[in-house]
């Protein structure tokens, strides 16, 4: 027997994950459109919409975390320090190349 859309129910976790994925995808589309936008009014509107979806994405993310559906592991301080140092070196290198 073939199921129709009305026969399929998502559980809360799956519905939130679907919403989170959709918001992330929309943010990617808006970011791409923003970089391609050629006039200021369009870019302002795209930036506004990008921000609204960023806020929605974060709200969904928070709800998932609060419900135990999305676990975030704290970053190891040593790893964060290593990455910070690495990016600082790259940033200094780029700045030196731009001055040359």
CA distance 90 to 84: 10
pLDDT by residue for the chain (100 residues), tens only, comes to 566 666 678 899 999 999 999 999 999 999 999 999 999 999 999 999 999 999 999 999 999 999 999 988 888 889 888 889 998 888 888 888 888 7
Q: Looking at the domain assignment, is residue 93 inside a domain?
A: no
Q: Looking at the domain assignment, is residue 81 inside a domain?
A: no
Q: Encoding tokens for residue 56? A: 């929605």
Q: Looking at the domain assignment, is residue 86 inside a domain?
A: no
Q: Which domain holds residue 44?
A: 9-74
- Give pTM, 2 decimals: 0.67
CA distance 97 to 88: 14
Write down the pLDDT at residue 83. 87
CA distance 14 to 25: 16
Write down the pLDDT at residue 36. 94
Helices (H), 1-100: 12-36, 40-66, 77-99
Q: At what angle do helices 40-66 and 12-36 cross, to 10 degrees?
A: 160
Write down the pLDDT at residue 25. 97
């Amino acid at each position: 027997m073939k199921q129709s859309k009305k026969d399929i129910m998502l559980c809360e976790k799956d519905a939130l994950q679907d919403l989170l994925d959709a918001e992330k995808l929309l943010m990617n589309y808006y970011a791409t459109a923003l970089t391609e936008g050629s006039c200021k009014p369009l870019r302002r509107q795209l930036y506004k919409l990008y921000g609204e979806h960023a806020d929605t994405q974060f709200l969904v993310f928070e709800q998932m975390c609060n419900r135990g559906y999305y676990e975030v592991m704290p970053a190891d301080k040593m790893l964060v320090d290593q990455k910070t140092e690495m990016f600082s070196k790259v940033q200094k290198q780029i700045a030196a190349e731009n001055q040359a």
